[in-house]
């Protein structure tokens, strides 16, 4: 499955548009990570616990989007985007979406 954040893929042409596909996950903060983040706020630096949490969420949302595209018979997702929003205090949704398409190589 090819994933791109562009409308077109060099060397390929879109032969069929399958439609919008999406994947999401809602994650809550872990109290241990929250405590460590509080210490980091004092001394500064990357909040690695949150970085890991967002990386895992992005991976899961992407996997769910790809699974939906595969169910539709697509071999690529174009215009891939990510969004995040707060669902409730301490929990956020990560949302991945794009256009499921069928690509074929351009003969040249």
Q: What residues does each domain of the chain span?
A: 2-105
- The third-level CATH classification (topology) of the domain covering 2-105 is Translation Initiation Factor IF3 (3.30.110)
Tokens of 43: 């001394």
pLDDT in tens, 51-99: 888 899 999 999 999 999 999 999 999 999 999 988 887 788 999 999 9
Percent of the chain with pLDDT over 70: 83
Interval 19-23 mean pLDDT: 98
The reported pTM is: 0.83
| pLDDT at residue 91 in the model | 80
Q: How far apart are CA 102 and CA 12, in angstroms?
A: 10
| pLDDT at residue 36 in the model | 52
Q: How far apart are CA 80 and CA 3, in angstroms?
A: 7
Kindly give the pairing relationship between strand 12-28 and strand 76-88.
Answer: unpaired
């Amino acid at each position: 499955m090819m994933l791109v954040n562009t409308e077109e893929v060099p060397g390929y042409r879109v032969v069929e548009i399958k439609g919008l596909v999406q994947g999401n996950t809602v994650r809550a903060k872990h109290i241990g990570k929250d405590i460590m983040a509080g210490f980091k706020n004092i001394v500064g630096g990357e909040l690695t616990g949150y970085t890991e949490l967002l990386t895992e969420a992005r991976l899961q949302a992407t996997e769910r989007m790809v699974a939906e595209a595969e169910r539709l018979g697509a071999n690529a997702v174009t215009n891939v985007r990510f969004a995040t929003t707060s669902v409730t205090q301490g929990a956020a949704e990560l949302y991945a979406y794009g256009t499921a398409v069928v690509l074929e190589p351009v003969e040249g």
